[in-house]
Amino acid sequence: MNGLDKIIKKIESDSQEACRAMISEAELKAKEILSAGEKNCEEIKKREEIRCETACADVRARAKSAAELEIRKGKLLARQTVISDMLEKSKNSLKNLDKEEYFSLILKMVEKYSEKQDGVIVFSKKDTDRMDKNFISKINKVSAGKLILGEPDRKIDSGFVLVYGDIEINCSFDTIFTVEKEKLTDVVSAVLFDK
């Protein structure tokens, strides 16, 4: 082997050694990168699992809250329906009292709502036709002022309207139940639902 061949062999040997070293270093680097990537993937996976669990818990909590709200709304609607039905039944039972009880109630209402002045009391045609002839004198015994019986020209089916000049006090059962609805609702609610 001549000197040139030895140099070429040395260069080849050094080149192969350098290549092996570079390949070994590249493989080591690749392992480090792969290991770091796997570690990073694990961290990302854990973060995403936590995020998903948190998101799922949040969705479950919101769904539960929405369901509870719907239940409360349903209960409230049911209560309101029961209360409205009870108020309507109460009003109808007053309208359908027998004649003696009905006109006894009217006297109590006149005593409560009449003003200390002369005026007119107006009933429905039905009530005017069925009241006793001396009922207006019974009214005047309990009224704060003198009242005369007016023509049944108001659209009421129960109760009465007091007229004092330009001022009218509507004491029909429908109006009283409408005006006093909040108070009556509280009373019915307390009776039906409070423990």
Per run of 10 residues, the mean pLDDT along the chain (length 195 residues) is: 74 78 82 83 85 86 87 84 86 92 95 94 93 93 93 89 94 90 79 68
The answer for residues whose C-beta is within 8 angstroms of residue 87's C-beta and 6 or more apart is 177, 181, 184, 185, 188
- Rg value, the chain, Cα: 47
Whether the predicted model's global pTM rises above the 0.75 cut? no
The CA distance from 159 to 165, in Å, is 19
The answer for residues whose C-beta is within 8 angstroms of residue 35's C-beta and 6 or more apart is none
User: What pLDDT does residue 1 have?
Assistant: 61
User: What pLDDT does residue 29 have?
Assistant: 86
